[in-house]
Amino acid sequence: MSLFGDFSEKAFNFKQSKKEKIVTQSEHWSAAILSGSEDSRAIEEPIRSNYLKYFFGTIFIIVTVLSAQLFNLQVINGQKNLAYADNNRIRVRNIRAERGVIYDKNKQIIARNLANFDLIVLPNQLPKDEKERQALYENIAILANISKDEVVKKAEERGLKYSQPLLVATNISRDQALNVEEKSKDLKGFSLDTNPVREYLDGGSLSHFLGYTGRIALEDKVDPSIYTPTDLIGKNGLEKAYEPDLKGINGREQVEVNSSGKPIKLLASREAKAGNDLVLTIDKGLQEKMAQYLSEGLNNAGSMRGVAVAMDPNSGQILAAVSTPSYDNNLFAHGISNNIYNKLVNDPNKPLLNRIASGTYPIGSTIKPFDSAAALQEKVITPSTTIEDRGKIDVPNQYNPSIVYTFKGWKPEGLGVVNVSRAITWSSDIFFYVVGGGYQGFKGLGADRLITYLKKFGFGHKTGIDTNDEASGYVPTPDSKKARTGEPWYIGDTYNLAIGQGNLLATPLQLLIATSSIASGGTIYQPRLVKEIIAPEGKPVRTINPEVSANNFVSDENLRIIQEGMHRVVTEGTACCSIKNEVPVSVSGKTGTAETSSAGFDGKNSRTRPHAWFTSYAPSDKPTIAMVVLVENSGEGAEYAVPITKNILKWYFSPH
């Protein structure tokens, strides 16, 4: 008979005879005592009864504890424990979505993707045994050619229960990747991740606007349902501004694995969807030539810093944009070292600064067409109004006439009698002093009206370019001066503002927008670098249409007067005559020479080395391109900025 059967029979007999035993128990005891015998059976019976009570009590407690624990595992924490089990049995692998390509306007590739391998770890899949895990770390350190301490730090920095992939080594070589793949069955928790990186083909000339991609960092606030911690993301420029379009949607594979981690069954999968492509407004050919001619012009001027940027004045589309010095954004895309990054940050020429959209400068005489528009529109002058330019004007102090302030023009002997068109052509400072601030009974625009029109032309606020990264510039006002210095606004402040000096600061992009409005007939367009967004197979997704920021604040008649003056700048004025003789179309423009107290290219205080400007558009009658060239701390705009413009426009309008 079995142990459990024998036990059941005894228990049954015990119950049936219980009454008898109670009745006869005293007799057994009495007989044993009187006879002096040791009747063990009579004595042991009550002991066996207690033993059984203890035995059943213990069984009851054990069963109760086991039942409670089972209830806790299966009911209270059932889902959680099931997830742990699945986590050991099921592996989820992300399938990277290919990032969208970036093209120029003619569908030439500017940014594409390169194959890249990363080594990642899933901490919750690492061996639980400490010795086994340490041996694994040593193996990984050899395979990835990094220190064991680094492997440990990256694998355990978020704890061994962390279930998201963490980056251990980036950009590992193809040979290293093959070694990892061959030994994958012995590398529990570690695996390869194919994560393509960007390759930029613009030679660095467009880096400031393209931007670059990089690893997701803590400051990047992303949706965890879309991104994994090892993903790449646009960090700045167009890569950041158009991240939702370029990113794509990652795919997933859910695989069942055996106890050694080897895949045995594909449970579910979702294909990756590639990101959309960007078609820029940039003309790659023009971009390359602009970078070449700007570099040559800077060398001739002995400067290391400058800008050239061109736009279609009829749409706001940026055709080419070069800010020098620049940087190689491929360095950032592949993971820049601290040493190289610190060199870029500490370089006195500031290669990371986008001078086109974020550099602010006094713009000198390039402001004069906009002064003219304000004066004509406000009827302060007419086309026939004349002022005699004698080379200077003397202004007595209103409180102490014995104190006289002298404001000089660029030509000491003066330019003679000039009207507005001739004042633009020959850049008469005296004319614009008087028109801006008034003089000897002539009532000028005054600070308020001059400031109002400068802001209408786009100075003092952001242009809205689609990189979302630019400076506002600065248009000084009486109130802002009072708040900043505690001093009132003087007539001299108005004079300085009227010739683009004083505290006025603008970006080259703002000057380009304002010049384009003269060329286009009075319309200011929001600048754009992206023309359209297309699907990977080429199907249009979204077209970026021109967006008007302002228009109709200067009459057509007044604009024609300004256009005439700007055309004469090139044919007979300050920019004559190399452009007229060598560029195959008519060109209009305005030179500018802006004094500055900032440190020059040689590191010295360079008030005697002003910024050279030239802003232009062509053809004069039906403009298709507007352009601004700036050479920092070089000298006269006519000497250093005009030749660069000539070379670019000559190439642009010649057969090639």
In terms of pLDDT, which residue wins out, 196 or 42?
Answer: 196
pLDDT tier for residue 186 given thresholds of 50, 70 and 90: confident
**In this predicted structure, what is the pLDDT of residue 20?**
46
Q: What crossing angle do the helices spanning 148-156 and 130-144 adopt, rounded to 10°?
A: 120
Encode pLDDT of 355-387 as tens digits. 999 999 999 999 999 999 999 999 999 999 999
Please give the biggest Cα pair distance in the chain: 157
Q: What own/partner pairs with CB < 8 Å and gap ≥ 24 does 162-166 have?
A: 162/123, 162/124, 163/87, 163/122, 163/123, 163/124, 164/122, 164/228, 164/229, 165/94, 165/120, 165/121, 165/122, 165/193, 165/228, 165/229, 165/230, 166/120, 166/121, 166/122, 166/123, 166/229, 166/230
| Percent of the chain at pLDDT exceeding 90 | 65
The per-residue pLDDT for range 601-653, each reduced to its tens digit, is 344 444 458 999 999 999 999 999 999 999 999 999 999 999 999 999 999 99
User: Which is more confidently placed, 55 or 602?
Assistant: 55
For 296-367, where are the E strands, in sequence order?
306-311, 318-324
pLDDT given at position 7: 38
Which DSSP string do the residues of 96-107 spell out, in sequence order?
A: PPPPPPEE-TTS
Q: What is the pLDDT of residues 443-488, one digit of tens each?
A: 999 999 999 999 999 999 999 999 989 999 999 999 999 999 999 9
pLDDT, one tens digit per residue, over 107-133 is: 999 999 988 888 989 898 899 989 999
Tell me: pLDDT of 70 over 90.
Answer: no
d(CA 294, CA 300): 10
Contact 266, 253 (CB under 8 A): yes
Which amino acid is it at 487? E
Q: Which tokens is 487 given?
A: 């001093």
Nearest to 418 by CA among 449, 453, 381, 446: 381
What mean pLDDT comes out for the span 579-597?
95
pLDDT of residue 181: 83
Question: Hey, what are 67's tokens?
Answer: 């039942």
| Residue bearing the bigger pLDDT, 24 or 71 | 71
Helices (H), 272-364: 284-301, 329-333, 338-346
Nearest-CA neighbor of 433 among 387, 498, 528, 481?
498
Q: What is the pLDDT of residue 258?
A: 67
* More reliable by pLDDT, 241 or 180: 241
Of residues 64 and 40, the one with the higher pLDDT is: 64
Q: Report residue 100: phi and psi, to 5°.
A: -60, 145
Distance, in Å, from the CA atom of 630 to the CA atom of 633, rounded to the nearest integer, reads 9
Backbone angles phi, psi at 59, to 5 degrees: -60, -40
Least confident of 87-101, 374-388, 499-513, 627-641: 87-101
Task: For residues 388 and 405, give the distance between their C-alpha atoms in angstroms, rounded to a whole number.
Answer: 19
Task: Give the confidence band of 309 by pLDDT, cuts at 50, 70, 90.
Answer: very high
pLDDT at 261 over 80: no
Neighbours of 188 (CB within 10 A): 17
Alpha-carbon span 135 to 242, nearest angstrom: 44
Q: What is the pLDDT of residue 618?
A: 98
What residue ranges define each of the domains in the chain, with the CATH number in brackets? Answer: 20-76 (no CATH), 90-280 (3.90.1310.10), 284-353+568-652 (3.30.450.330), 364-516+533-550 (3.40.710.10)
Average pLDDT on 564-572 reads 98
Q: Which of the four pLDDT bands, split at 50, 70 and 90, describes residue 45?
A: low
Q: What is the mean pLDDT of residues 412-422?
A: 97
CA nearest neighbour of 423 among 398, 387, 455? 387
Q: How big, in percent rounded to 5, are the helix, strand and coil portions of the chain?
A: 40, 20, 40
Summary mean pLDDT of the chain: 87
| pLDDT (0 to 100) of residue 88 | 53
The confidence score (pLDDT) of residue 49 equals 64
As a whole number, mean pLDDT of residues 81-88 equals: 49
The rounded distance, in Å, linking the Cα atoms of 92 and 120 is: 13
Nearest to 549 by CA among 580, 521, 517: 517
Q: Which residue has the tokens 């606007």?
A: 209
The residue annotated as part of the active site, out of 205, 323, 365, 428, is 365
**DSSP designation for 210:** H
The backbone torsions φ and ψ at residue 93, rounded to the nearest 5 degrees and listed phi first, read -115, 130
Distance CA(241)–CA(468), nearest Å, equals 7
- The reply to whether 147 belongs to the active site is no
22-37 burial by CB neighbour count: b if 16+ within 10 A, else e?
A: eeeeeeeeeebeeeee
Phi, psi of 369 (to 5 degrees): -60, -30
Residue 631 tokens read as 């050479």
Bridge partners of 175, per DSSP, are: none
What is the torsional sign of CA 599, 605, 609, 611?
positive
Residue 84 has pLDDT above 50, yes or no: no
569: which residues sit within 8 A by CB, 6+ positions away?
Answer: 424, 425, 427, 575, 576, 588, 589, 590, 591
Chain centroid to CA 521: how far? 34
Asked whether 612 and 636 are in contact (CB, 8 A), the reply is: yes
pLDDT at 9 over 50: no
- 138-155 residue pLDDT tens: 999 988 888 999 999 989
d(CA 513, CA 515): 6
Per-residue pLDDT band at 179 (split at 50, 70, 90): confident
Q: Compare 91 and 297 and report the one with higher pLDDT.
A: 297
Q: Which pair of structure tokens corresponds to residue 51?
A: 């033993």
10-32 pLDDT per residue, tens:
444 444 444 444 444 444 444 44
Least confident window among 30-44, 492-506, 632-646: 30-44
Going by C-alpha positions, the residue among 343, 645, 327 that lies closest to residue 508 is 645
Least confident range from 48-57, 193-202, 563-572, 595-604: namely: 595-604
**Contact in structure between 568 and 616 (CB atoms under 8 Å):** no
Q: What is the pLDDT of residue 259?
A: 59
* The dihedral sign for the CA sequence 334, 340, 345, 347: negative
Mean pLDDT of 216-220: 85
- Please compute the mean of the pLDDT values over residues 547-569 and round it to a whole number: 97
In this prediction, residue 194 carries a pLDDT of 81
Q: Sheet holding 306-311: strands in order across?
A: 318-324, 306-311, 625-631, 611-618, 588-594
Q: 101: closest CA among 1, 221, 196, 223? A: 196
Q: Which of 583, 572, 656 has the alpha carbon at shortest distance from 617? A: 583
